[in-house]
Amino acid sequence: MPWVTRGLRNGVLTTRYPKRPDGYGANWRGAVSVRPDGAGRPPVTDGLCPTGAIRPGATPHGLAGGPVGGPVLDRGKCILCGRCVAERPDVFSFDSSAEVAALTRPGLVVPPTEESEAALATVRAELSRRVAALRKSVHVRHVDAGSDGSEEWEVAALLGPVYDVHRLGVFFTASPRHADLLLVTGAGCTGMAGPLLTTYEAMPDPRVVMAVGTDAISGGIVRSGDTGPGGVGEIVPVDVWVPGSPPSPFSVLHGILLAVGLLPAKRGPA
Ligand code: SF4
């Protein structure tokens, strides 16, 4: 009986996302952005980022929405350590949104480029055609391809009462033969390459692949220079990229809804 009264007292806790975006705390780390007014400040040093996500002073002239001559940041390599924001708050800042998934690998680079916008339109149209049958219900097969376990916590939270992805027609399945969407976490280590490929090949068409987390996108901190696993895109063709280390459940959900064409593909800082 106590759980009934507690339930009545608390009311409905389930998020209304994506119908209504949730608010985030002041210290929320959705993703790192380059401040539009960051150009003209002292140059960013090469060794600032431990994963090489920042290319200092590499922005060519004419890019949309970014500082001319300022640094370029690849969210697909960013592990959200916060070092760049702490040391150079004049150039970098944390975004307050969890909607960070992208349909192209270049789409994770900020400031965004004009070329990526054109590529995005093509990719989105092609994906939209493929997933037309999945809009009402999508079955997800999750494969851990060498994760540190952090992404799994966030993915598991999607099934809880706060996110309750069943309300959106998203279901997790143990069988690749029943799956539409392959959700992959981990850097794509050698031992998991075979099982991951076997899972992908067992899925019926149309199948969509989502790389969840910085490790899955680029190898993250696991990759050292040019050695080590470089992300699951080296094993299976990825359609949706969800950066973060780990990405929040909202970011993973954003990626799923983007994959099945239920959200517009956003780019750049929220
Ligand atoms: S927050 Fe990301 S971009 Fe900034 S230093 Fe850390 S890993 Fe690099």
DSSP string, 71-83: -EEETTT-----H
Report if residue 214 sits inside a domain. Answer: yes
* pTM, entire model: 0.87
Per-residue pLDDT, 268 = 42
Q: Among 5-9, 47-51, 53-57, which range has the highest average pLDDT?
A: 47-51
Distance 72 CA to ligand 1 centre (A): 12
Nearest Cα residue to 241 out of 202, 193, 184, 190? 184
CA dihedral sign of residues 52, 245, 165, 14 = negative
Report if residue 130 sits inside a domain. Answer: yes
Question: Cβ distance 167 to 160 under 8 Å?
Answer: no
Is 74 strand, coil or helix?
strand
- The number of domains in the chain is 1
Q: Is 179 close to ligand 1, i.e. is its CB under 6 Å away?
A: no
Report if residue 156 sits inside a domain. Answer: yes
Which residue segment(s) compose the domain that 174 sits in?
117-259
Omega cis (within 30) before 204: no
Average pLDDT along the chain: 83
Q: For residues 255 and 99, what is the distance between their CA atoms, to the nearest angstrom?
A: 8
Per-residue pLDDT, 69 = 64
Distance 3 CA to ligand 1 centre (A): 43
Report if residue 239 sits inside a domain. Answer: yes
Query: In the structure encoding, which two tokens stand for residue 47, read together?
Result: 């060794």
Question: What is the pLDDT averaged over residues 133-156?
Answer: 89
Q: Is 84 close to ligand 1, i.e. is its CB under 6 Å away?
A: yes
Best residue for ligand 1 mutational test, from 49, 87, 108 (most atoms within 8 Å of Cβ): 49
Report if residue 32 sits inside a domain. Answer: no
Q: For residues 262 and 162, what is the distance between their CA atoms, to the nearest angstrom?
A: 20
- Whether the predicted pLDDT of 204 surpasses 60: yes
Q: pLDDT tier at 42 (50, 70, 90 boundaries)?
A: confident
Helices vs. strands in the chain: H and E counts, helices first:
7, 10
Largest CA distance in the chain: 65
Per-residue pLDDT, 68 = 55
pLDDT per position as a tens digit, 82-128: 999 999 988 899 988 888 999 889 889 988 776 666 777 777 777 77
Report if residue 58 sits inside a domain. Answer: no
Distance 139 CA to ligand 1 centre (A): 33
- Please tell me the residue having the least CA distance from ligand 1 atom 8: 49
Range with the poorest average pLDDT among 32-41, 185-194, 232-241, 251-260: 32-41
Report if residue 249 sits inside a domain. Answer: yes
Dihedrals phi, psi of 80, to nearest 5 degrees: 60, 35
Distance 74 CA to ligand 1 centre (A): 9
Question: Cβ distance 148 to 161 under 8 Å?
Answer: no
CATH value at residue 126: 3.40.50.12280
Range with the poorest average pLDDT among 11-25, 69-83, 89-103, 178-192: 11-25
Distance 52 CA to ligand 1 centre (A): 8
CA dihedral sign of residues 257, 260, 265, 269 = positive
CB atoms closer than 10 angstroms to residue 174: 8
Question: Cβ distance 68 to 39 under 8 Å?
Answer: yes
pLDDT per position as a tens digit, 225-265: 666 678 899 899 999 999 999 999 999 999 999 998 877 65
Question: What is the pLDDT averaged over residues 13-40?
Answer: 81
Report if residue 237 sits inside a domain. Answer: yes
- Please tell me the residue having the least CA distance from ligand 1 atom 4: 84
Dihedrals phi, psi of 86, to nearest 5 degrees: -70, -40
- Whether the predicted pLDDT of 155 surpasses 90: yes
Per-residue pLDDT, 270 = 36
Q: Is 143 close to ligand 1, i.e. is its CB under 6 Å away?
A: no
